Amino acid sequence: MSKTVLLFAGQGAQFVGMGRDLADHYPTARALFDRANAALGYDLASICFSGPEGDLLKTENAQPGIFLVSWVALQLLRERVPQLRFQATAGLSLGEFTALTSAGVMEFEDGLRVVRLRGRFMQEACDATRGGMAAIIGLDEGPTREVCAEADVELANLNCPGQLVISGESEKIARACELAKLRGAKRALPLPVAGAYHSRLMADAQPKLRAVLADIPLHLPAVPVISNVTAQPHGVASEIHQRLVEQVTSSVRWEESIRGLLAQGFTRFIELGPGTALSGFMKRIDKTVQVLNVGDCASLELTATTLGSALQP
């Protein structure tokens, strides 16, 4: 029997209109969007469905919005495929909170409120600094780390072979891009982000997030949840708290996390939430495994049909 991992999208996956068709067609989805609005005290659903884009791009809206659409996708898949079982979860940056919630570590409303505040704290750190990020395409990790050291920036995301992301002060990122090209990178592209996520420039967000997490009850994961910081499964509640605080400034070790799951025999990966970036990473890491996704009605139907056939007793 295939071992299944649930994957959850991170910031950058958001787009105006995400989740709208799910809410229009499924009462369960509509009810979850209404619950989210009530929990947060404002109309996040409307921002997801209709924008304006400037509001959705704000970190304090994008993060809970992606969390919410990802959670809705999971609940609808469970509704459509009652026999669905999964043996591990993982999420990219923000998506780690969704992964933890899906494993029963925190309640839906608690997870939603935490990521809303996390987004606000990170936005405040962005506003207080002049940071940026860039994608480095076609350069291996070793030379990229050398570039980071020379330019005094940090390696933020190790996504998949040939795609790394660096983070730091804007002027230093520009220099790092030039150095990367000189070392053979196919492309070095500044990203349209508000600041230097997963770098030391986010340090001011950490004590604020630590204080919020201290008030959130956490339970042991029902299945292994992979930490972005360690690329290993989370441990007890106190360790989960610490890893989530560290994650704000640490590298996201995504490829290493996925390779660890592959080594344990996982062969089915289901991406939940807006976009298909994680599915794209999977194809670069291992083309032989089954990769499915749920982000709208069409992908929900296709994945439910595929799983329904595969999971027949």
Catalytic residues: 93, 198
Q: Which of 121, 32, 80, 116 is nearest to 297 (CA)?
A: 80
Residue pair 248/209 in contact (Cβ under 8 Å)? The answer is: yes
Strand partners, 91: 8
Strand 88-91 relative to strand 131-137, pairing? unpaired
Strand partners, 169: 131
* Cα separations in angstroms, 297 against 91, 200, 230: 22, 39, 34
At 77, which amino acid appears?
Answer: L
Residue 303: exposure state from Cβ atoms within 10 A (0-12, 13-18, ≥19): buried
- Rounded CA-CA distance 255/252 in Å is 9
